[in-house]
Amino acid sequence: MMFGVIAEKYMSFRGSRRFIERMQFKKIKRIFDHARKHSPYYADLFRKAGLKELRSWDDFRRIPVLTKEDLIEHFDSIMIKDYPGVFVKTSGSSGQPSVILKDMKSIKRTLITGHPFFISHYAGVKIKKTALVLIWGEQSVETMFSEDMERFFKTEKIEINAGKRTEEILTALVSERPDLIISYPSVFNAVFELARSEGISLDFVKLLVLSAETINRNRLLELEDSLGCMALDAYISTEGGLMAIEVPGHDGFLLMNDNVYLEVNDDNGDPVYEKEGNVVITELNNFATPLLRYTGLKDRAVMSVNVKGKKYLKRITGRMIDSVLTKNGEAICPYAVTEFMEEFRSDISKFQVIQESPDSFHIKCVIRNDPGGYSEGGEGYVRLKRGLERFVSHGILLRVTVSTAEEMDGDIPFRVVKRLF
């Protein structure tokens, strides 16, 4: 019964396109009215755009986009002060870690639609035990998601820190034998390759869900064939929650229309279909930090329309990210590196970590404060070097380059952690 209730209430992609768009516009209008009344940033933005109310989709498209830089710079005037919610950190996969305030309704929607009960019902697989191989930050959505699993649903779960050594993760999975594994592609790829090289079977896995990074279709098919189970890609972000989930068979992604209104636009801001464009999202449930036409994910995707006229994502081509490798070839979770870079947020507004060889790194960054401190021998430089040595080995070579935001955006799709070997 629980499965049916969750599916019918939250899998709103089952309605007609007209029903979905009417439901979404109604939600967007509520967010618009709320933001205009309570957010100084949006009140000024709408006034300059000549928008007193939303009457049509044409009015909606007149709203200027909100960039990641806008969100960081104007967060205090975008956020609705004193609105009940929880501060959560983004993963830093765009190279710009940030904090947003999410209201409890938005978090609950993320919990329910991204919960193993929902996913297993959607995939048609019965799940008894789930392994969450993720990064557990103090203010991360992953941590809240895991805590609420036990609070609201009776399900057995195992937490495995994705920042651990690959051997430790594999040992824990073999010992616990979970039916469902939820993880990042970069992390599970390393685990899978290690298991294959050592002849260790992962035949206990019934369903594999990978998120937060782009993984190609051929790799998913290879995982399914080798593991003998279904492997799905889930399009998830801290800002938007669960935005889309892959169709079994890898023929596209069903949009989570109850959570987010997702656009794919060209560089002029016009909608595009059957060709790659920029992802723009409007979060439909977060009244604490309204995100109207947000481009800060910096993802690329291809939007299409099925035979019934309903929109779906054909392909997602953003958020490419590489693991860091030690001298002995061990893979380190890239999100452990982005979490470490959080320590420098007061000085660095955007970064990219490039591993040129096992013991050589190049960090490109946009500096807010004290550029001199990040030249060789400076205090910031020394802290960066020591931090990276925690992951790989002592005695690394480090080069730090101060860049402009425009130079950083030249690498599309942007890889916050990039390996050149």
* Domains of the chain, residue spans: 1-319, 324-419
pLDDT range class, residue 3, cuts 50, 70, 90: very low
Tens-place pLDDT, residues 265-314: 999 999 999 999 999 999 999 999 999 999 998 888 999 998 888 899 99
Tens-place pLDDT, residues 29-82: 999 999 999 999 999 999 999 999 999 999 999 999 999 889 989 999 999 988
Going 111 to 116 to 117 to 121, the CA torsion angle's sign is: positive
The confidence score (pLDDT) of residue 269 equals 94
Report yes or no on whether pTM surpasses 0.95: no
The confidence score (pLDDT) of residue 14 equals 65
Average pLDDT rounded to a whole number, residues 118-139: 78
Of 363, 343, 366, the closest CA to residue 353 belongs to 363
Mean pLDDT of the chain: 85
Going 383 to 212 to 266 to 59, the CA torsion angle's sign is: negative
Start-end of H helices in 228-314: none
CATH 3.30.300 is held by the domain 324-419 = yes
Of 227, 213, 269, 352, the closest CA to residue 62 belongs to 269
Start-end of H helices in 312-363: 334-341
Of 349, 362, 355, the closest CA to residue 399 belongs to 362
Q: Token pair for residue 100?
A: 């947003």
Same fold, 1-319 and 324-419: no
Q: Rounded distance, CA 125 to CA 62, Å?
A: 43
The architecture that CATH gives domain 1-319 is 3-Layer(aba) Sandwich (3.40)
Of 338, 399, 364, the closest CA to residue 186 belongs to 338
Residue 93 pLDDT exceeds 70: no
The confidence score (pLDDT) of residue 15 equals 77
In whole angstroms, how large is the CA radius of gyration of the chain?
A: 21
